[in-house]
Structure 1
Amino acid sequence: IEADSTGSSMEEKPDVEMAENPFEPYIEPLRRQLENQEPVFLIGVIVALAVVISSCVFLKYFLSSKTVRSAVLLVGLCDSGKTLLFCRLLSGKFKRTQTSITDSSAPYKAKSDRGSTWTLIDLPGHESLRSQYLEKFKSTARAIVFVVDSAIFQKEVRDVAEFLYDLLTDIVISRNAPAIIVACNKQDITMAKSAKLIQQQLEKELNTLRVTRSAALSSQDGSIGGSMYLGKKGKDFEFGQLSMKVEFVECSARGSKSEDGDAELERLEKCLAKL
């Protein structure tokens, strides 16, 4: 019995080893083959493998970190008419609104042959909220619609310019260069300023702001704390100096016939159709 047990175990042992090492028959020939190769060849193989692995890692990181910029942001001061403009662009209907304290978003289909669809996002205009919401969505912006109240622009020009300055000098926005559309809203009101006048006054105000804030820009490339130098050094500021395209359009979310009429958004919609 002992002999049988011993014999049985002796016969089973090779089977166990073969099961545990299925590649063993190939390892020894491979080892001998590698030993016969020149060191230069082996170094080349190692370098090639390293390049392939690093390329795969980089590609995976690039694809996972890439942000799709498919949002159209509506920004501006409080009571500039952003929320009504948001409703008009989506449905064409008039809707009574109130000051927003959070963002609102919905799919917007551009009026063009391509019929591209963007995510339209209305951001709060209150001074204590707008920066944090802009920070949240700025990297996804394909376009930024900066809404201005044309009727009281003269009173708000300083505040409008400061907000626009922060937006235009933001490093992320400057790098991505989304289309900037300054929507001069409330053109239905008699005292509303024209888009051309608003552009001229903003250029002057931004030029003044650039001078007062330039002392804080101490690095060689003109950037510090997430900001870029606005325009070209040594020249008065103009919107044409920016890397991103800036357009000024006149519009009226309320419409000339008040609540019963259609909004006057043709020029704004044409800009959005070109995105």
Structure 2
Amino acid sequence: MEKETLVEESTTSDFTKIYIAIIVVLVTLVLFLIYRSRTVSRRSVLLTGLCNSGKTVLFARLVHGQLVKTFTSMKENAGEYIINGSSLKIIDIPGHERVRDKFFDQYKPEAKAIVYVVDSTLIQDEIRDIAEYLYNILSCPDIANNKINVLILCNKQDIPASKNCSTVKTMLERELTTLQITKSSQLEFVDPKIKKSSLLVDGDNFQFSLMSSIKVDFVDCNATTTEDGSPNLEGLEKWLSKIV
């Protein structure tokens, strides 16, 4: 009788181990599928920036292969861009300050990369607004945690007054240094414990190369026409081919 009881307990223990193993496998499979679905769903490239920076012209060039007349839009544009046999979803986020945050928040969960378009002819006049919006993007936890690729696209290089990407980078680093100090001081005044989390980089001087979780690249671009009548999207297309 005692032997039968031991056998029953042993059998029950074996079944329990099997059930636990099955549950562990199922939970692991579910978590893997969730992770995979999120990874696969991140195939969108968000075109964002201030109004009139050339985002919609750029969108039309990439998606439709043609130059179009544009105007300030209050809604997004979306289309497919084929490169290296793969497809990316290009989303043109409106630049108007009243709606851009709303659309950016809507589409950032599916973002594989962000192209921040800058009008390099107006960089000196708009540097504060350009840097402020860029700061908000780079300090967004979703962007940092998912290590989203970011490209600063210095557009309108066909215009003599434009600044090249090296100059734009230097100007943005200088302005972002000021912004980082200002915003850190504001947050420290509210709660000293959150000062550290407000920093884009450690140290007094901001540099893109010092960012630990986000890689930021710079490329010159001309979405309209060059001397031979064609746009100059070579740098952008090369960058997009790397993130597919």
Give the superposition deviation at 1:156: 0.5
Which residues of 2 match residues 116-195 of structure 1 at below 5 A?
116-195=86-165
1:238 matched to 2:211? The reply is no
Match for 2:152: what amino acid?
A: V
Give the superposition deviation at 1:40: 5.9
RMSD: 2.4
Which residues of 2 match residues 36-115 of structure 1 at below 5 A?
36-37=6-7, 39=9, 42-43=12-13, 45-64=15-34, 66-67=37-38, 68-110=41-83, 114-115=84-85
Match for 1:78: what amino acid?
A: C
1:265 matched to 2:238? The reply is no
Larger Cα Rg: Structure 1 or Structure 2?
Answer: 1
Q: Relative to structure 2, which stretch is displaced further, 237-246 or 79-88? A: 237-246
Give the superposition deviation at 1:117: 1.2
Q: Name the structure 1 match of 2:242.
A: 274
Give the superposition deviation at 1:148: 0.1
The gaps in structure 1 that reach 5 residues or longer are 1-32
The TM-score with structure 1 as length reference comes to 0.77
Match for 1:175: what amino acid?
A: N
Aligned residues: 234
Contact 1:73/1:141 (CA < 8 Å) preserved in 2? yes
Match for 2:142: what amino acid?
A: V
CA 1:203–1:116 in 2, change beyond 3 Å: closer, same or farther? Answer: same
Give the superposition deviation at 1:58: 4.9
Contact 2:181/2:204 (CA < 8 Å) preserved in 1? no
* Identity over aligned pairs, percent: 39
Encode CA deviations 1:87-123: one digit per residue, 9 max, x unaligned: 011233111011121111111012xxx3221001101
3-state SS, counterpart of residue 199 of structure 1: helix
The gaps in structure 2 that reach 5 residues or longer are none
Distance 2:109 2:199 in 1: 19
